[in-house]
Amino acid sequence: MHPRFISVLLLLAPVCLRAQDAHTPEEKGEKAAPRPAAAPAATPAPGGPGRGAGRTLETADLNAIIESPDGLAKGRKLFEVHCVQCHGPKGEGSRGPTLAQAKLPRASDDASLLRIVQTGIAGTEMPRANLLPGEAPYVAAYVRSLGRMPMEAVPGDPAKGADLFKTKGACMTCHTLNGQGMAIGPDLTDVGARRSVAFVRRALTEPAADIPQSFNAYRAEISLPLNFLFVRVKTKDGRELAGVRINEDANSIQFRDLTGRIHSLYKADLKELIKDKGQSPMPVYAGVFSPVEMDDVVAYLVSLRGEKK
């Protein structure tokens, strides 16, 4: 064969091979190989350039993970590592809100739940979880599965508890409910959706139990829930004030005194700032309510879920 003809064949060979490979297996009479499952899709992190740089938000079919025993078990293990301290081992709530409910106030759909797991909630106690890529959908799926569990049984009569709450307990002298009362302590309108039965009972019997115990570093302390810590201040111009802390940063502190008045002071203007470690302005109700009455009050409080009574 002429050498020039051989050279032409060599030049055309790669083109022929590429054309042959362009045919699908079905067209060539072959069985198509199964395609691997698609990885969770990713969308840009919110906030635009400069915020969350290098991070992406994952999306996934949470129902598919819930229906997979292995997937749900993986989500449970991750939840136990990252979420139990604030939300309880079964999502019943502790310092963080109750997750074992069919409808989460801030995460009514899967996309919003996934976003909260990955980025936290700005301006609240909910931080961004320190998860590896691909783990967030498993945590979100496990959280969603908690809402399918039966609600925790509560002994006591909520109707009797409502009366005790307003009369013998005099709770609205410090708390608000549906816009009524004194906003010294936290609003209780939806406390049943935010706190577990155990947390509510402990707040009534041991109100100081949830006060931060460490005040060594400002940043470490402020990362904990504010928990309505009682503070006392002495200003450089001679005033002495006290109240329940509602906000604090490196330069200022805001607190509400027992008359309901809010004070906002710069720390540079203070001569002394005392944080009453281990103390709470909340009275101890263990000696006020009988055991039966305590059950009634707890039953009433956990029934409060943001709906007017």
Q: Would you place residue 254 in the very low, low, confident or very high pLDDT band (cuts 50, 70, 90)?
A: very high
Q: Which of 222, 181, 220, 213 is nearest to 304 (CA)?
A: 181
Where along the chain do the CATH 1.10.760.10 domains lie? Answer: 56-146, 158-206+284-303
Q: Which of 107, 110, 91 is nearest to 99 (CA)?
A: 91
Rounded to whole angstroms, the Cα distance separating 148 from 267 reads 48
Average pLDDT over residues 245-259: 88
Q: List pLDDT tens digits, range 3-36.
A: 454 444 444 444 444 444 444 444 444 444 443 3
Distance linking the first and last C-alpha atoms of the chain: 99
Q: What strands lie across the sheet with 252-256, from one edge to the other?
A: 262-266, 252-256, 240-248, 230-235, 270-275
Residue 306's pLDDT is what?
Answer: 80
Residue 235's pLDDT is what?
Answer: 96
**Multiple choice CATH, 56-146, 3.90.380.10, 3.30.2350.10, 1.10.760.10, 1.10.1510.10:** 1.10.760.10
Unique residue bearing structure tokens 């609003």: 187
Total count of residues recorded for the chain: 309
Q: List pLDDT tens digits, range 284-304.
A: 999 899 999 999 999 999 999
Query: Where in the chain does DSSP place strands (E)?
Result: 42-44, 56-58, 176-177, 180-181, 230-235, 240-248, 252-256, 262-266, 270-275
Kindly give the residue spans of alpha helices, DSSP state H, lying in the chain. Answer: 3-21, 62-66, 69-82, 84-87, 110-119, 136-146, 158-166, 191-194, 197-205, 218-222, 291-303
- The predicted model scores a pTM of 0.58
**Please, how many CA atoms are within 13 Å of residue 14, restricted to the half-sphere of its CB?**
2
Amino acid at 189: T
**Multiple choice CATH, 158-206+284-303, 3.30.450.20, 3.40.640.10, 2.120.10.30, 1.10.760.10:** 1.10.760.10
Rounded to whole angstroms, the Cα distance separating 26 from 29 reads 5
CB 168 within 8 A of CB 289: yes
Q: List phi, psi (to 5°) of 216.
A: -70, -40
Residue 47's pLDDT is what?
Answer: 37
Rounded to whole angstroms, the Cα distance separating 252 from 113 reads 33
CATH architecture entry for 209-275: Roll (2.30)
Rounded to whole angstroms, the Cα distance separating 295 from 200 reads 11
Q: List pLDDT tens digits, range 174-229.
A: 889 998 998 777 889 988 877 778 888 988 998 876 654 444 333 334 333 445 67
Residue 92's pLDDT is what?
Answer: 77
Rounded to whole angstroms, the Cα distance separating 66 from 82 reads 19
